[in-house]
Amino acid sequence: MSVTFPAGIRAAGVAAGIKGEGELDLSFVGFADGMVHSGAAVFTQSAAAAAPVQVSRSHLASTNGHLRGVLLSSGNANALTGDAGSIAAQLMARSCADQLGGDEREYLVCSTGLIGIAFPQDRIRPGVERIVEELGTDSRAGERAAHAIRTTDTFAKQAEAAGVGFRVGGMAKGAAMIAPNMATMLCVLTTDATLSPRRAQDALGWVVDQTFNRITIDGCTSTNDTVVLLASEVGAEPGPDFEERLLEVAAKLAYAIVSDAEGGSRVGRVRVVGGLNVAEAERAARGIANSLLVKCSMLGSDPYWGRVLAEVGAALPMIEMSQVSVAYQGIRVCEDGVDAAARLSLAQRRTLDRRMNDREIVIEVDLGRGSATVEVLTADIGHGYLEENRGTS
């Protein structure tokens, strides 16, 4: 049931004419009682942050995490659009306040789509009026909301999990321009747990670092990244398993984003173990995951460990290569910094050849220096990505 899985959450997705041709392109997620409850958000770190990001940051700060909902549009990023873009983003929030009540600062706004193109302001108010007519708490409402934030996504990304006395739901979009910090993606997470704004923000920040900040498709950071958490406070204050269930939902959505990579055919699970510390392991994992050469090897089903070690060396200049090993699909192809293919049995070779055609490729690098482990998700890169992005898209 996506974002409407928790109690006290309502949603809608409508066609406002931003994309044209009757496609769903305006989405709302908020509280069923229409009142103010706890919320939190994490935004892109880009200096080119879009107008909706700037407006939402200001709103979140001014209300100290007390929100009524979030309005999301797709088809136009409203990024790098000057004063007109700021006016459009503010109009999105004001239209929600006019139609749904409260102060416009109690609403966050998000947009995704083409960068640098004027936002069609005349579609906002009529679109919000349709949102009001369509709001619901059922699974259909949640699904339409998830579909309305898609751009090049091939499917609506939704997830849910149940904890002790609470539920968590979520929806996300993203298929390219994905790289920390964060990844082009929008995400709304919902819960019926009772949370203080402080706990909501702390939990969301921790979860984003473990999930959305550890995925990369093309190494390109977005102007519009936003992850929002809304807590309807229908239930009691949850125990420590709340953060675990929130992490579970975010991890499912993060994986769905990478699995839907533009032009991609495989998910790469880059796992670095044996680091002196998490920072070191993460630098190595990110270097491998962002490497175009490693991505090309994945596309070609080639366990080319040399490209992997080249990225490790670039990320960690002080590393001793004679301590490093690499395995593809659980089979070690490099040991102590040199080729280990000669040590493989015929059965191992056949297994590796077969499993390199799997939908998911696991690349594990052992730095041989400590106990720190980090995993980053990536995707291969294929002709479809080039076709999609060689023009304005």
The annotation places the binding site at 151, 173, 184, 262, 389
Parallel, antiparallel, or unpaired for β 9-14 and 26-31?
antiparallel
CB 188 within 8 Å of CB 74: no
The amino acid at residue 392 is T
Give the residue from 181, 203, 206 showing the smallest Cα distance to 193. 203
State the catalytic residues. 184
The residue length of the chain stands at: 393
CB 210 within 8 Å of CB 376: no
For the beta carbon of residue 195, count every other beta carbon within 10 angstroms: 26
CB 85 within 8 Å of CB 43: no
182 upstream amide cis, omega within 30 of 0: yes
**Which residues sit in the known binding site for substrate?**
151, 173, 184, 262, 389
Q: What is the DSSP string of 205-229?
A: HHHHHHTGGGB-SSS---S--EEEE
CA distance 235 to 233: 5
CA distance 365 to 273: 6
Q: Which residue intervals of the chain are DSSP H helices?
A: 51-63, 82-100, 124-134, 139-147, 197-210, 241-259, 278-290, 292-299, 305-315, 346-355, 383-389
CB 36 within 8 Å of CB 85: no
CA distance 298 to 380: 5
Distances (CA, A) of 27 to 37, 95, 108, 150, 171: 19, 13, 12, 10, 11
